[in-house]
């Protein structure tokens, strides 16, 4: 495919514990209570998205203890500690504090005895408690970290939300990508980004967004920069949208273009090892690209809900051949009898 290749932006190598805690409180809305505060949280770093429950380490098996990860203590670990004597608790916790753990979270409104808090304080490990139950907290924390450490790339194009379908319009400079996006916005659809589109890989999904500089803005050649949100209102923009279709605009070349006619052959393009439906749309004077983009979105939705027009038409053709209907010199009409068209 002519679209690409796509060079990945190096993912973050680390985030500070101070940044992590501040974002979890303000952006993810997780209640965190400081049990042991550390003044060097700006210099303590989380380096990976994986999390760890230190149950085996508390029991004494530390050979495979991934201490560099965030440690989460839930009901199981808390009840295990409560079943021990004070000296046994100290011995169990010594298995943790001997390592340079970045941060320790305690879920389900559990806490630690004072003698254990003293141990982690002396080890310089920050500790935070939350009323969230373990499964929910781990899910929210993992999603946040996966977003922070996700692979990204930037592509040149216009990203729009058309009937809830994320369409990335690409093509060579000056072919009319921004003009099509502007026409779609005027028809009630929503702009995600123009010119520079940031793609973030999350699990097996590509999420798109604008850069900090170009969000809500669009360049129209001959006119200049316009502000979509100020001009059309907040309904006309989106901060992020899943990428579902790549639409490439190209100039019509009858000799070299191999254009799909039936829709049975579905091309894809690979972006960061994720295959995305790809449509090469040749443009000629008078062709309404905006309406075609809307049809692409509706056709995608139909396929998503189990109906494929190309396959339905192919089925009719096969049925017609199988039934060996009588052939005529002209195509048969769709109806058997014409009523009078009288007004």
| Residues recognised as catalytic | 156, 177, 195, 261
Distance between CA 173 and CA 320 in Å, rounded? 46
Q: Which two tokens stand for residue 270?
A: 């690979």
| List of E strands, the chain | 15-16, 33-36, 45-46, 51-52, 70-73, 104-106, 127-129, 152-162, 165-170, 190-202, 205-209, 217-220, 224-227, 240-242, 245-251, 268-271, 274-283
Ordered DSSP codes for 41-82: TTT-EE--S-EE--HHHHHT--TT--TTSEEEE-HHHHHHHH
Closest CA to 155 of 213, 224, 208, 219: 208
Residues 6+ away with beta carbon under 8 Å from 142: 49, 51
Torsion angle of C-alpha atoms 17, 19, 21, 26, degrees rounded to 10 = 180
């Amino acid at each position: 495919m002519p679209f690409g290749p796509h060079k990945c932006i190096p993912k973050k190598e680390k985030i500070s514990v101070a940044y992590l805690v501040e974002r979890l409180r303000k952006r993810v809305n997780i209640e965190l209570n400081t049990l042991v505060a550390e003044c060097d949280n700006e210099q303590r770093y989380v380096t990976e998205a994986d999390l760890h429950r230190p149950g085996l380490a508390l029991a004494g098996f530390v050979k495979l203890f991934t201490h560099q990860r965030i440690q989460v203590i839930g009901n199981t670990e808390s009840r295990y500690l409560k079943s021990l004597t004070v000296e046994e608790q100290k011995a169990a916790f010594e298995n943790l504090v001997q390592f340079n753990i970045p941060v320790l979270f305690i879920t389900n409104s559990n806490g630690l005895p004072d003698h254990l808090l003293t141990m982690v304080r002396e080890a310089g490990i920050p500790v935070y408690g939350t009323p969230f139950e373990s499964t929910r907290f781990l899910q929210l924390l993992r999603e946040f970290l996966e977003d922070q450490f996700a692979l990204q790339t930037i592509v040149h194009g216009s990203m729009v939300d058309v009937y809830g379908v994320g369409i990335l319009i690409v093509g060579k400079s000056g072919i009319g990508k921004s003009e099509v996006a502007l026409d779609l916005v005027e028809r009630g659809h929503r702009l995600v980004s123009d010119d520079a589109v940031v793609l973030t890989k999350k699990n097996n999904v590509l999420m798109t967004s604008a850069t900090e500089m170009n969000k809500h803005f669009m360049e129209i050649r001959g006119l200049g920069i316009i502000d979509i949100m100020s001009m059309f209102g907040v309904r006309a923009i989106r901060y992020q949208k899943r990428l579902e279709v790549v639409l490439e605009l190209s100039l019509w070349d009858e000799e070299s273009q191999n254009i799909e006619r039936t829709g049975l052959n579905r091309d894809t393009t690979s972006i960061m090892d994720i295959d995305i439906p790809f449509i090469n749309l040749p443009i000629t004077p008078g062709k309404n690209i905006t309406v075609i983009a809307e049809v692409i979105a509706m056709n995608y939705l139909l396929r998503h809900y189990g109906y494929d027009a190309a396959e339905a038409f192919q089925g009719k053709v096969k049925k017609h051949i199988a039934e060996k209907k009588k052939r005529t010199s002209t195509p048969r009409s769709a109806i058997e009898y014409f009523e009078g068209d009288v007004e």
